[in-house]
A and B are shown apart, each in its own frame.
Chain A
């Protein structure tokens, strides 16, 4: 039975917002949109049973195991005795689920956020350093599965771009 303690559920979201992607530490797992659901099966003052459903960005993303472990540790620390982390694959994760705040954080960190005008990583994506659109694609595959490598023709900085997916 899922309880409807909205305050406690809100607290849970707050706690998960403190967990960051190990490969892109500027983003929380909520910013990334990989937390699909939290079910409070029994509140903290009862048995403390919670289930979190997450979805992978890319099928082979090596950060998923770490993220699942971080969620378990965080919620156990908050007092839950039983923490389940379930993984769902459908619907498939999309960068549309990334929050606006997350996109701003990425830009400030030096990673160009996904830009819907470009269905593929392409020339012309805005440089997160100087804001120029005079940029070029260096490699479609970057330092992680979710990113491409680009370079700015104006400020000459190479930069990561978080691909539309």
Chain B
């Protein structure tokens, strides 16, 4: 285990939660009903809270006066390590829900490993986050059932969302060099994730999809992103880039 791998893994965790938080935040004031608007923004708050914990730790590891804000606002897309799934556009409610489900179910498996891992800070952040993730899994999973086993229209939209997002889940289970160095067992994550998603899809009357028969995009974990990320960062980083170091 090298320090560089620990920094990279921490940034991967930070970037993924921040980017998904930024995406979900777009729903603020636009949710289908007030309670669900509040739900998705509460999840966003948790994700950004998790991102801050990871960025603070990464900044501490990097040293030399590095801060969480520098890491979030002053890196370009090639430096961001978030998985591609998190940067995919919101689309409709079905796509947002499914993206959250895929990510929360993945987080539950990954964070369970961090909890029992060698690094005490990552373990502590995972312990705290897992409590929140269990809510996210339940809420988003219930929505998948509601839409999948709902009307013809909701079922059709969720199937379209599956088709859109599925090619981005494969990356989650291919270990980046820093994950291998930090002994993340992606095969175990894949097993736990696909078992849970299979069960959920059956309950939601969706056809099961195979992880092996689809072309999978990769690269996010090492900084090669889809065109979607640049636009997201341009908006998110605008204020800090225009008024460097500003605070309120």
Contact = CB atoms under 8 A, between A and B. Distances in A.
Interface stretch (A72-80, A106-114, A133-141): A133-141
Contacts of B48: 60
A40 to B, nearest CB: 26
A89 B125 contact: yes
Contacts of B38: 139, 141-143
Contact of A92 (B43, B120, B131, B138): B131
B47 A60 contact: yes
Interface stretch (B3-11, B49-57, B73-81): B49-57
Contact of A58 (B49, B124, B139): B49
Interface in A43-94: 56, 58-62, 89-93
Contact of A59 (B36, B123, B128, B139): B128
A121 B139 CA distance: 11
Contacts of B52: 59-60
Interface string A138-155: 111111010001000000
B129 A59 contact: yes
B127 A92 contact: yes
A92 B124 CA distance: 7
Nearest to A165: B131
A59 B46 contact: yes
Contacts of B125: 59, 89
Interface in B110-150: 120, 123-125, 127-129, 131-132, 135, 138-139
Interface residues of A, number: 21
Q: Is the interface of A mostly helix, strand, loop or mixed?
A: loop
Given A89-B124, A92-B128, A62 B45 contact: yes
Interface in B32-69: 35-36, 38-39, 42-43, 45-50, 52-53
B49 A141 contact: no
Please classify how large the interface on chain B is, using the bins under 10, 10 to 19, 20 to 34, 35 or more: 20 to 34
A120 interface: yes
Contacts of B129: 59
B42 A59 contact: no
Given A58-B46, A59-B129, A140 B135 contact: yes
Contacts of A93: 128
Nearest to B45: A60
A140 B138 contact: yes
A58 B52 CA distance: 12
Contacts of B127: 89-92
A141 B100 CA distance: 15
Nearest to A89: B124
Nearest to A120: B138
A140 B128 contact: no
Interface of A: 56, 58-62, 89-93, 120, 138-143, 145, 149, 165
8 nearest CB pairs, A to B: A60-B49, A59-B49, A90-B124, A139-B35, A141-B39, A60-B45, A92-B128, A141-B42
Interface of B: 35-36, 38-39, 42-43, 45-50, 52-53, 120, 123-125, 127-129, 131-132, 135, 138-139
9 contacts: A59-B49, A59-B52, A59-B128, A59-B132, A89-B53, A139-B35, A140-B138, A140-B139, A145-B46
